[in-house]
């Protein structure tokens, strides 16, 4: 039996607070197995936030559901179980803040700007822009989640800049200033590449199902650096 099946069997057809039922199930079903418990809790929180992210503008589009499937990979035979959990989260009376707080509480090693939680925000941005643009209500949702994640404003804006398709500011993406010399910019770029390389996700405890989003982030960082390099060479 997969951990998805164990979790859903423990939840049952609860009519109460789904978040409370899920948390209790994670605590009891996977007691004595902290690694699996952490992975399950992380995955559940991502699924729940993704479901509520898709509904932030009032409509859950098929493109947003497809975007969720792109960033959260799972075996085909588990599709029904993941879908059931997704739908439970979408129907829950608890607000998305509770899921964000639960996920934030899993990252005990970071006081602020946690790289693991940055992975989650990148995934939520990916879903938000799936239907062509990020709605103002979705941006408000994301900003509030960022605050719960203890992301400072500058860090949040840098994450957001990576997901703007038109008029993207490469300097903001890298967190540098146009007044910085190219040596400083290059050093910053290489630092970000090292920090966000997909191979480092495993050491951070990010489930393998969530690794797809790292490639999109790396592409944004590379594009920003190449744009600045081209601009400096032309000057």
Report pTM. Answer: 0.75
Distances (CA, A) of 1 to 9, 28, 87: 10, 16, 21
| Token pair belonging to 154 | 């500058």
Nearest 5°: the CA angle 124, 59, 83 is: 65
Q: How far apart (Å, rounded) are the C-alpha atoms in residues 96 and 80?
A: 23
DSSP H or E segment with residue 29 = helix 18-29
User: CA separation (Å) from 34 to 8, 26, 40, 187, 226?
Assistant: 19, 10, 10, 37, 42
Residue 76: Cβ within 10 Å count: 6
For residue 147, the model assigns a pLDDT of 94
Confidence at residue 96, expressed as pLDDT on a 0 to 100 scale: 78
Kindly compute the dihedral angle of the four CA atoms of residues 13, 17, 19, 21, in this order, to the nearest 10 degrees.
-50
Per-residue pLDDT of the chain (235 residues; tens, 9 = 90+): 666 677 677 766 554 556 666 666 776 776 777 767 766 766 777 777 777 776 666 666 677 667 777 766 666 777 777 777 777 776 654 577 877 887 787 666 666 778 778 888 888 888 888 777 788 888 888 999 999 999 999 999 999 998 876 778 999 999 999 999 999 999 999 999 888 777 776 666 666 656 667 778 888 999 999 999 999 988 6
Containing 145, the helix (H) or strand (E) segment is helix 136-148
Give pLDDT, residue 3: 65
227, with CB counted inside 10 A (0-12, 13-18, 19+), is middle
In the chain, where the domains are located: 3-234
> Which residue, among 189, 172, 197, has the nearest Cα to 229 in the 3D structure?
189
């Amino acid at each position: 039996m997969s951990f998805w099946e164990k979790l859903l069997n423990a939840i049952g057809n609860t009519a109460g607070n789904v978040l409370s039922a899920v948390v209790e199930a994670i605590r009891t079903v996977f007691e004595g197995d902290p690694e699996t418990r952490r992975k399950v809790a992380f995955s559940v929180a991502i699924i729940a936030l993704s479901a509520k992210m898709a509904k932030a503008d009032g409509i859950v589009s098929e493109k947003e559901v497809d975007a969720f499937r792109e960033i959260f990979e799972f075996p085909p035979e588990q599709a029904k179980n993941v879908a059931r959990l997704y739908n439970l989260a979408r129907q829950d009376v608890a607000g998305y803040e509770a899921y964000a707080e639960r996920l934030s509480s899993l990252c005990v090693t970071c006081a602020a700007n946690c790289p693991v939680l940055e992975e989650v925000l990148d995934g939520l941005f990916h879903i938000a822009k799936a239907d062509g643009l990020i709605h103002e209500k979705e941006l408000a949702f994301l900003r509030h989640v960022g605050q719960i994640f203890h992301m400072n404003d500058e860090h949040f804006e840098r994450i957001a800049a990576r997901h703007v398709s038109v008029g993207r500011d490469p300097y903001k993406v890298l967190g540098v200033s146009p007044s910085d010399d190219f040596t400083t910019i290059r050093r910053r770029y290489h630092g970000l590449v090292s920090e966000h390389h997909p191979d480092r996700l495993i050491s951070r405890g990010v489930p393998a199902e969530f690794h797809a989003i790292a490639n999109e982030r790396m592409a944004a960082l590379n594009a920003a650096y190449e744009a600045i390099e081209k601009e400096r060479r032309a000057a």
